[in-house]
């Protein structure tokens, strides 16, 4: 049980984290696209792949439509700026939202609002626990899924969540969401691991554990496979 002073410390920590995120966004909002994208370059074939996803699966208004969002530890406003500066948002792959997520307004980027779960939505602030890196990400996946369900029509059913990433935290985050207490019943969770980062196929594969059909269905692609290859879709 927490004592009163513990609760006060938690509230103060949350306030400080929010203030920090606001300060970070204010700094980035004063940068131009070239400054925002410094040191960040999409891998070859990524933009073409996203264009393919957008044209084939998103915003199609049919029963098999796919909603596509971004899950990241980034502050939402900063994530929007990065997606814009890197021309990723211009692929139209992200599912647009008609109203702010979580009621928060990010001045200057409200015209590029899209589905997602962000560090500004959930941050435990527990920097001493390394497991929080992926557990926080799992909570951000949960937030993104809830928003997807909320924005869907009453006749729509969300059958599967697919999280894509290139790091151990991505695999473990998706796995934690597969066991999340608030995950809708019958929802299948999958992760697609791509060994295009600092971790190889074996490292990512070892973290997946056993496949549980209909519940947890992980896939690890060989290095580079799928990026820019339309046949994968």
Tell me which residue has tokens 């596509």.
Answer: 68
Q: How far apart are CA 168 and CA 205, in angstroms?
A: 9
Give the pLDDT of residue 223: 57
pLDDT of the residue at 127: 77
- Verdict on whether the full-model pTM lies above 0.85: yes
pLDDT for 57 equals 80
For the packed helices 168-178 and 201-208, what is the interaxial angle rounded to 10 degrees? 20
Virtual CA dihedral for 101, 104, 109, 113, nearest 10 degrees?
Answer: 10
Per-residue pLDDT of the chain (233 residues; tens, 9 = 90+): 333 444 344 455 555 888 899 999 999 999 999 999 999 999 888 999 999 999 888 666 666 689 999 999 999 999 999 999 999 999 999 999 988 877 689 999 999 999 999 999 999 888 789 899 999 999 999 999 999 999 887 778 899 999 999 999 999 999 999 999 999 999 999 999 998 888 889 999 999 999 999 999 999 987 555 555 555 54
> Strand pairing of 160-165 and 116-118?
unpaired
pLDDT at 4: 41
191, 164 Cβ separation under 8 angstroms? yes
Contacts for 67 with CB less than 8 Å, ≥ 6 apart? 58, 95, 115, 148, 151, 152
């Amino acid at each position: 049980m927490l004592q009163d002073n513990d609760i006060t410390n938690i509230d103060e920590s949350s306030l400080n984290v929010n203030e920090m995120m606001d300060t970070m966004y204010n700094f980035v909002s004063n940068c131009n696209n070239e400054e925002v994208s410094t040191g960040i370059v999409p891998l070859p074939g990524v933009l073409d792949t996203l264009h393919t996803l957008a044209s084939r699966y998103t915003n199609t208004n049919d029963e098999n439509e796919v909603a596509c969002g971004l899950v990241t530890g980034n502050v939402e406003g900063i994530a929007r700026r990065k997606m814009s500066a890197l021309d990723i948002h211009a692929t139209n792959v992200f599912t647009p939202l008609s109203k702010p997520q979580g009621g928060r307004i990010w001045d200057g980027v409200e015209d590029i609002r899209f589905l997602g779960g962000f560090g500004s939505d959930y941050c435990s602030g527990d920097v001493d626990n390394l497991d929080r890196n992926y557990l926080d990400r799992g909570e951000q996946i949960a937030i993104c899924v809830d928003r997807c369900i909320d924005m869907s029509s009453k006749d729509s059913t969300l059958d599967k969540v697919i999280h894509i990433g290139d790091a151990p935290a991505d695999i473990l985050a998706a796995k934690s969401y597969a066991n999340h207490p608030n995950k809708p019943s019958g929802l299948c969770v999958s992760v697609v691991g791509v060994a295009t980062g600092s971790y190889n196929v074996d490292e990512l594969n070892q973290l997946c554990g056993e496949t549980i059909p209909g519940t947890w269905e992980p896939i690890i692609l060989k290095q580079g496979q799928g990026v820019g290859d339309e046949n994968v879709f």
